[in-house]
A and B are shown apart, each in its own frame.
Chain A
Amino acid sequence: MLLISPPTYIAAVLFLSLMGFLYWAILRGMVNTPEESLPIVQFLKIFWIPVFFVVPLLTMRSIAGERSTGTLDTLMTTPTSRVAVILSKFSGAYIFYMLLWLSTLGFPFIAAKFFPSAALSGSLLEPAPIIGGFTFLALSGILFVSIGIFASSITRSQLVAGMLSFTTLFVAIIGGQQLGNIAQNGAELSFWASELVNYLQIFQHLDDFSRGVIDTRPFFYYTSTGVLLLGLSTLVIEAKA
């Protein structure tokens, strides 16, 4: 359903044009003022902008749409398990999300073609931050897409699902960062609280990954929370088909 419905392509076009523009803006900025970090690292730092609109757009229809048209009922009468339904909804959205991100890899290549001197110095196509950054995107995508699927599973209105997933993503991404800021500025936190706050630092995870520090904690954070949310979605559609 994802591949034949128009909203998917609208999301894709919006995503790619916005990301193309942002990449271009970053390159422009780099021309004017020298920066320490590589363009791709800066580019991946703004991953949250597309996540906020692409993930809700991709996932809001998945279950809420089926429920409101009633096709969820017909789906439930086939001998497919609830887990399979949720997993296929998740993997459809996740694969598409990752395809979108992978297609942004075209930007550095296009830039390298037009600015051969920059490409020769290796600043555009440095493999290490690209691999690290995309590992981060793949991991965090599990959490983000499952937030969207969960939001879609608890309501029958696509609009509500979209708003819910947007808000939850906002809290997860920006809220974690704000907690981190408070912890840094404010009074001493006890050991476990600061550990907890560090655990939720999505931006910090991105920094680590693009520097090549692959920690198991973020890995655990994204996969476990993702699996938990998908499990909850399964229970929800089981209870209110």
Chain B
Amino acid sequence: METIPSIRVENLTRQFGSLTAIQNVSFTVNHGEIVGFLGPNGAGKSTTMRILSGIMPATSGSAWVGGVAVAHNPYEVKQRIGYMPENNPLPDDMRVVEYLRFRARLKGVPRRKLRETVQDVMETCDLARTARRKIIGTLSKGFRQRVGIADALLGNPEVIIMDEPTIGLDPHQIQGIRKLINNLRGRLTVVLSSHILPEIERSCDRVIIINRGRVVASGTSDSLREEFLPGNRFELEVKGCEARVAELFKAKGLEVEILDKEESEDHILKLTLRAEGNGELGAQLIAALSDSPDCTLRSLASRVPNLEEIFLAATKRSWEETIDSPKTKPAAAAQS
């Protein structure tokens, strides 16, 4: 199992008429990983997920799930995948336990194991005590989402694909779903897409950013930070003027770029800096400002760019690339 990646996608392309939904998408997901799929609306996340789960054929390219080609053997791939579509459609007139039993039968769980399997997934998703006999139409959104995840878990799949599992949930429910996903860590391969970036950052081992149908970045959030927003970032509050601050840093030989400034009423400047250097940089910045009478340092904090900024930087870069070279080298961006 270690040698075969759970998901391997190569040069996947899907066109709807003249519209190219995804173009030359390639990535791999290893066994036991939790991977987040990020992208603006209409970037092709759902399309990629739908192709992987065998609902929709690709125009060209190949995808494998657990070493089985999706196009050649969709039946076997479907046994290895648990898929929760966007908006999590459920039949409103059924009871939770009835629905899960019905789904388990569809997924080929043998009759004598039915009760046990359904009970297991309901316990994993915390449905067994509270919502077991409730009618799905009356459930709150958080519970509906749990039912969707429980359904994806049925039949012991290797890979779980969830399209926007936390959409429309309140922070408590999001936390609940995050715990649930954390419980699956290591046991299963999980691919999930979301707009809520801190969510992805917290629950995923790796992030794949997709924009305009192409993979623009892939890696852990640390490596992406390194790639798209290099250098150290600081936020400092100073009483004084901007030019003077830049001058002082220059005098100390510090290479500093001021990215953003904000001035409040009582002449306090709030600056966002990017500087190249090692771990001592913070101390050097404090030292540079400390011996000047007309610049008083009020606060200094190192700032780690969050996924949101990485995401914006990555998608912006890919947009610039497409504007610069509309037709040439589409594959190059996909490989990056």
Contact = CB atoms under 8 A, between A and B. Distances in A.
B108 interface: yes
Nearest to B93: A4
A216 interface: no
Given A1-B93, A76-B54, A79-B79, 8 more contacts: A1-B91, A70-B89, A73-B85, A73-B89, A76-B55, A78-B106, A79-B75, A241-B56
A222 B185 CA distance: 55
Nearest to B108: A79
Interface residues of A, number: 16
Query: For the complex, would chain B's binding face be called helix, strand, loop or mixed by DSSP majority?
Result: loop
Contacts of B93: 1, 4-5
B87 A74 contact: no
Contacts of A1: 91, 93
Contacts of A5: 93
B13 interface: no
Contacts of A77: 53-55, 78, 81, 83, 85
A71 B79 contact: no
A74 B108 contact: no
Which 4 residue pairs of A and B lie closest in terms of their CB atoms, listed nearest first? A70-B89, A78-B106, A77-B83, A79-B78
B274 to A, nearest CB: 45
Contacts of A70: 85, 87, 89
Query: For the complex, would chain A's binding face be called helix, strand, loop or mixed by DSSP majority?
Result: loop
A233 to B, nearest CB: 17
Nearest to A5: B93
A4 B151 contact: no
A69 B55 contact: no
Contact of B91 (A71, A73, A241): A71
B275 interface: no
Contacts of A241: 55-56
A80 B87 CA distance: 22
B107 interface: yes
Contacts of B79: 79
B107 A78 contact: yes
Contacts of B50: 73
Interface string B79-116: 10101110101110110000000010011100000000
Interface in A126-156: none
Given A78-B103, A78-B107, A69 B91 contact: yes
Contacts of A71: 89-91
19 contacts: A1-B91, A70-B87, A71-B91, A74-B83, A74-B84, A74-B85, A74-B89, A74-B151, A75-B106, A77-B53, A77-B54, A77-B78, A77-B85, A78-B103, A79-B76, A79-B78, A79-B106, A80-B106, A241-B56
